Structure 1
């Protein structure tokens, strides 16, 4: 189950390399994609929970690193949500 990184550009211009324990995250994001902040957070939650579940199915325990990444994404989004028309750009998945 190869881990993947997906690089995003947040609405404030910050670029972040995000971690997924499974390549399943590629089903949720693609390079060049632009998403609303809410959509990005929702897809991150779905994709990282899916990835963690795959780890659990294989190794018998959930992936805490995936849940830590989701928490970082949610905290960052919460700080930005007061602004209007926010979009997150997916730079790369791989």
Structure 2
């Protein structure tokens, strides 16, 4: 599952989640304060990785890399910035 984020500078990032659980944490069209977005993405990634671990015996390195990229991108913005979830897209 991919999800598209629009950052405060109007740039967009296509992100990856190995599980549909991300849909329980983010909603297209909603804006999230930066800290809340990161909390939601971290929790969804943790659950997704637990599911992958249970099924395959290892976690999803791509999901971990995506989380690091999202956190790095977020660091460029002020703490009170808001990020929009644009859409979900099939992987």
Q: Any gaps of 5 or more consecutive residues in structure 1?
A: none
Q: Any gaps of 5 or more consecutive residues in structure 2?
A: none
**Residue in 2 that maps onto 1:15:** 12
Tell me the TM-score normalised to structure 1 length.
0.89
1:89 has 2:50 as partner: no
CA deviation vs aligned residue, 1:35-80 (integer Å, no higher than 9, x gap): 0011111111011111111111110100111000000011111121
Matches of 2:27 and 2:8, distance apart in 1? 18
* Aligned pairs, number: 89
Which runs of structure 1 show a deviation greater than 2 angstroms over 4 or more consecutive aligned residues?
none
Cα RMSD, aligned residues only: 1.1
- Structure scoring higher RCO (CA < 8 A, sep ≥ 6) equals 2
